Amino acid sequence: MCAVVDVMWRRGQQRYAGDAVHGGAGGVVLPIQLSDPSAPATTVDTGTSVAFEGGQCLGGSGTLTTLWSFGDGTKMSNTNTHIYASPGQYSVFVTCTDSGSRQTLTTLPITLTVTPLNPHGFLGRAWSNYQAVDARNPSIYPLAGLAEDGRVYGAWLQNEGSGAGVASGRMDTGTPRSWLLEGLLPLSGPLVSFNNNTLAQRVAPLDMAVSPQGRVLLAWVAGTSLWYAVRTPDVGWSMPVQTALTPSSTTIKVAVNDAGDGAIAYCTSGGAQVVTVSSGSTVTSTPQLISSRCSAMVGYAGTGLQLAKAFDVAIDNTNSTVHAVGLMPSNSTAGKSQILLRKYLPGSGWAEAEAVSAELPQASFSSSFSLSYSLAPAGQFAGVVWSQLGVSGVSNAYARMADSGVWGAINPLQSNASAPYALPLIAVNDGGQAFVAMGQDSPAQSTYFMYLTNYSAANGWMANPVKANTWGGFSAVDVAIDQFGHGLVTHCDIGVDTVAGTLSSTGGWSGFRTVTPLYGKNAFHYQAMRALPDGRAILMTSVLATTGYAPSGFVLLQ
């Protein structure tokens, strides 16, 4: 709630204790004097620091002691600043006492009128109750997104077959089963079926992006082919388009903007490639190699957990410029590699690659390397974060920010001498602020930690990243940042509830709280979270347990 403070004050009311003689000559001690205190403003929010003014002490005998009482039951303080945790009506006063116990008191009545608190990005919002979707054998790949008008778009795989692969929910080959890709698009609308595959033909992976105004791009692999479909507001879904492209692994990344232009990045046996998709066209551009390395599974083999991804893609919402980053061999030094940025300019094609990292050891092509790239919606600001091998063999996470295409300095995100960092994820907003989550593997303790940090142009990166948890793995994690610079992170792992937490722009960590239910000790959760700059978000989960299936579902931050 928001507290409105109406400030009224009057001339100091003086109360004296001790010596009854005041003023005059003959060594009589003059009374101490107290200036009238005042408040800096007539309106403050609950939880905001208030710095009162005035209250200076003069005269008296010996040392003077000044104490403020803020009227809310907290202890008296010798400082004039205070944070009110709750709205209400408070009377603030100051006492000045000299060494002879002579005392002066001035009272400042304050009336606080409570009004509703408007959400401040992710802060001040609450998660909705868990809402299950169609419960027929849910898969491990649920996706959902929000448009600015509040519409929810989602897609997921339904398991239509039988066998060991079905029971485990794994996407490994050689197990007879089929998958039906469908979605509730939008929420409360009809189910749309895109593929109904024959036995033993997998449909995995898939990814979906939703633009602010509700353009949707959905891409997936059916059998050996890359497919995609687009959705236009008030028109509906296009027919699925089967391309001649043949991805080879379990990673796809898509991006779309309000114009309906988009990009699809995917893995092949020779690395990661990207194609562009233009609004109104069913023809993709010629594939462009953006990374010589693709991705590696991190966590529990075969269950589709977090990937160490060596490529990423984004699109400018204002001019449809596609940004694609990846790890490529150095053109100048043998045995080295670099992170390169390629841009696709509509009407001009792909520009020359630009190096955004220093030269990295060739060993960065090992599974310890991963990167993440984020482009702010308006396209002015961007950020990239990656883990690279250090001189002692372990890895550290590094970040670099760009403003209007000009890249700043490369910054290590935490001093690191022993434990490797991996899987850093970054989100950037239109104010040039950034939020990062990263995993730290501690071999000595056989456990993983999650660390969080944020960035602003004025303050740089946090000096000491926040240690968010001590769970068993950095698995199935998503990050987002709102327009105020507050970060949101969601996380799930084997046998653990899906949780969410916020890191404020000033570094305040909320801690994790459960947002979806746990279905038994052996349940596996997969989660996907997407958010809007104003702080609204959707988180979708899937649950696969050894004892049976539980409904996939979602929660909304609203």
Q: Are residues 28 and 89 in the same domain?
A: yes
Q: Is the pLDDT of residue 407 over 70?
A: yes
Q: Is the pLDDT of residue 202 over 60?
A: no
Q: Which two tokens stand for residue 16?
A: 């004296």
Q: Is 14 helix (H, G, I), strand (E, B) or coil?
A: coil
Q: Are residues 102 and 135 in the same domain?
A: no
Q: Are residues 195 and 299 in the same domain?
A: yes
| Residue 122 located in a structural domain | no
> What pLDDT is attached to residue 266?
92
pLDDT digits (tens, 9 = 90+) for 158-187: 554 444 333 333 443 443 333 444 444 445
Structural domain containing residue 95: 2-115
> What pLDDT is attached to residue 376?
96
Average pLDDT on 411-436 reads: 84
| Residue 161 located in a structural domain | yes
| Residue 123 located in a structural domain | no
Q: Are residues 78 and 192 in the same domain?
A: no
Average pLDDT on 119-135 reads: 78
Residue predicted with more confidence, 258 or 44 = 258
Using the CB atoms, write b or e for 234-261: b if 16+ within 10 Å: eeeeeebbebebebebbbbbbbbbbbbb
Q: Are residues 258 and 368 in the same domain?
A: yes
> What pLDDT is attached to residue 471?
59
Choose from 164-173, 306-315, 390-399 the range with maximum mean pLDDT: 306-315
Q: How many CB atoms lie within 10 A of CB 329?
A: 15
| 161 DSSP assignment | -
What gap in Å lies between CA 153 and CA 130, rounded to an integer?
16
| Residue 126 located in a structural domain | no
Q: Are residues 380 and 477 in the same domain?
A: yes
Q: Which residue has the tokens 């109750």?
A: 129
Q: Are residues 13 and 143 in the same domain?
A: no
Q: Are residues 44 and 163 in the same domain?
A: no
> What pLDDT is attached to residue 139?
55
Question: Domain total for the chain?
Answer: 2
CA max distance for the chain: 109
CATH number at residue 52: 2.60.40.10
CATH number at residue 382: 2.130.10.120
Q: Are residues 8 and 152 in the same domain?
A: no
pLDDT digits (tens, 9 = 90+) for 55-88: 778 777 778 888 888 877 777 888 887 766 666 7
> Could you give the dihedral angle defined by the CA atoms of residues 140, 134, 533 and 50, in that order, rounded to the nearest 10 degrees?
-100
Q: Are residues 41 and 147 in the same domain?
A: no
Q: Are residues 294 and 379 in the same domain?
A: yes
| Residue 337 located in a structural domain | yes
Last residue of a domain, one of 80, 115, 150: 115
- Determine the residue type at 457: A
What gap in Å lies between CA 123 and CA 502, rounded to an integer?
8
Q: Is the pLDDT of residue 243 over 50?
A: yes
Q: Are residues 136 and 109 in the same domain?
A: no
| Residue 49 located in a structural domain | yes
pLDDT digits (tens, 9 = 90+) for 506-542: 898 988 888 887 665 555 567 889 999 999 999 988 7
Average pLDDT on 386-393 reads: 69
